[in-house]
Amino acid sequence: MPYAFEMLSVLNYSAIRKLSIFVRFETRFHSVNLDLSFGNHSNSIYYMLSKNDTLIDKTKYNKRLVGDKNYIDVVCEDLLHILTNAKFGEDIEIRIWYDHDNQETLELANRLYEQFKIHSQTTKNPIYVRSLHLQIENLSQLCSVLTYFNPDKLTELTIAYLGKPFGFKNIVVMDHWKNAKKIQLDCIVVEIPIENFSHCEDVTIFVLCISADDIRTLVNAIVSNSSCLKHFCFTYHCLHENITEQFLDNLICEKQINTDGEHVRLIENEIKFIHNLGSEKMYISKLFDKNKDESIETSALTSRPSKSAMLCLSNQLIMEKIVQHFDFADLAVLRKVSRGSRQCVDILKPDPKLVAMNFHLKPSIFVEVFGRDNYKRFSCEAPGDLLQILKDQKTALKRICVTLGSSRLIESGEWNSDDTKIEDWKLREEQFVEMFSKSIFLRGDLIPVVELCLRTLSLKVAAQMLQNVDPVAIKTIEIRPPLGIPIALQLESHLEQLVCLEQWTSARELKIEHFFVDCDIENLIHFSKVDIRITSISLKDVLYLKKKFLLSSNFLQFKAKFSKTNVDDSIFEDNFLGEPFRRVEDISSNQPDIWFFSYKEGVEDLQIRYYPNAKEFMFKRVPRR
């Protein structure tokens, strides 16, 4: 299955302008990054080794797990599918890099290049490239790899190699070399006569030693305009002993300081030569006409879309098929193009496809919005701001996280709830909840979200926020205090305002962490998973939970820490909890007592763990061993 083709939305764009692959190998982390650019839009995914599986990571909320398949195989299959089926621009840039020189890296690099070879042989039509950046293992590999690409449009060639010096005599005769206007040889100690760069405009190379003849040849070529060279940069290991400051003064001129503060030698005020002894670098560059550059830039900035394009953006029949592929970021850009495009979006009401949202109160309200491919952060102070984002959302968000309160407002636990700053903080919470609730009211529908995470010390506020969520969509409720705020400032502990809500009874998972709450056990048993801290639990509660969980078809786990209990040693008496299928008694003070009770089907057990010292009970459905 071509995972990247789908996850990177290749078919939604006109043509690929850039394809980059970066291989990263570390002791415990192996990954491959594949990046595709479509003009101003860029999409990336990461392939990562996950035990015997492959994890493909697009964004925080867009991931795939490919079971029982090596990530290298997945990368190569995806790459070949893209090369075979995607549309490429004739000015495409291709980059293939890896960061460590080990056998596994080289094998993967060879397999990546093999996909380009297969494509060029099967299609008989090598990819046109404008810019080519390759990391290679040896000269023979470089000669082969270059043939996989059409050189007719090539203007930029970058080659990286970490091995011993080698000659380029087989490379400089290839059209790929001859057509390149910019050549950069990274980490390669080259042995190429300077004449082989005369067709270039921009060159960066590393050499073992620079001779006086090399500098004369280069300066004469640039001064006499006998070559196209505009910029030449040497990084060298050593200088010939004849190259001294006096030699450079005689050949060019004495040093001076230019307007940028550089120590340079100017040749006819058109060429600058920079070399500082000890820097191991030498630059020769033609000076550019800034006025000409600025006029080109101004021309580019003042260009506008054509009239026909603007009419298309206002045509509902055309845009209806296009906007269905857009997410919130694309729609935001489209609304700003013209009045017609904005009206078109407002009429069609396309789903912005939000995946998740984070709200932060500190003390201004900031919103982080996540799409499958995009992320944006902005200030949100009015209901209209939030309504603009949420008004057309139809699909359920995976997660909304609301953080109410800031550790900067409360630096220690010395303040009590009467403190003015605490009152200000509580007021800001109330204002946020009012703004959020009004936005949902104006939207006309409760917001569909699978997981709601609330960072607050106010269970009243938590209940008010939960009321804005669609009870059909909600699956997980999570409540915890904001980071850095003392638990002693907890505003209330009773859950009565929450347990009466339809959203509470519809949810399947509950997490209440880091502070204790008062709650009747009966209000918790409908959840499949519970992780909670409650003020007290009794022997009667334990027996009740055991009975209900054995009868439940959807129960998975119930974990409860408690501060008070009447549970005593009687729980350890034989058959006090009933006759277990199996029991593991405490073998040390740090280990729990464990009971196993059979479900009717006989293939699973209800496991009950009791930690007396930690004051914790855990009920869990487990497969029978």
46-60 pLDDT, tens digit each: 998 888 889 998 877
How far is the C-alpha of 482 from the C-alpha of 426, rounded, in Å?
13
Averaged confidence pLDDT in the chain: 82
Backbone φ and ψ of 618, nearest 5°: -140, 125
Query: What pLDDT does residue 44 have?
Result: 86
Under the banding of pLDDT at 50, 70 and 90, the label for residue 566 is confident
Query: What pLDDT does residue 194 have?
Result: 76
How far is the C-alpha of 207 from the C-alpha of 193, rounded, in Å?
11
Backbone φ and ψ of 397, nearest 5°: -70, 145
Global model pTM greater than 0.85:
no
98-121 pLDDT, tens digit each: 876 677 778 888 899 999 999 999
More confident residue, 322 or 15: 15
Query: What pLDDT does residue 596 have?
Result: 92
More confident residue, 276 or 205: 205
How far does CA 26 lie from the centroid of its chain? 19
Query: What pLDDT does residue 198 have?
Result: 82
Measured CA to CA in angstroms, residue 417 lies from 245, 292, 361, 403, 457 at distances of 75, 66, 19, 19, 12
Q: Tell me what the mean pLDDT of segment 409-423 comes to.
A: 52
Question: Where is average pLDDT lowest: 273-282, 355-364, 410-419?
Answer: 410-419
The answer to whether 293 and 278 are in contact (CB under 8 A) is: no
Question: Where is average pLDDT lowest: 76-80, 305-309, 400-404, 608-612?
Answer: 305-309
The answer to whether 209 and 237 are in contact (CB under 8 A) is: yes
Q: Which residues of 326-353 are buried (b: 16+ CB within 10 A; e: fewer)?
A: bbbbbbbebbebbebbeebbeeeebebb
Q: Of the spans 59-68, 178-187, 502-511, which averages the highest pLDDT?
A: 502-511
Query: What pLDDT does residue 414 have?
Result: 44
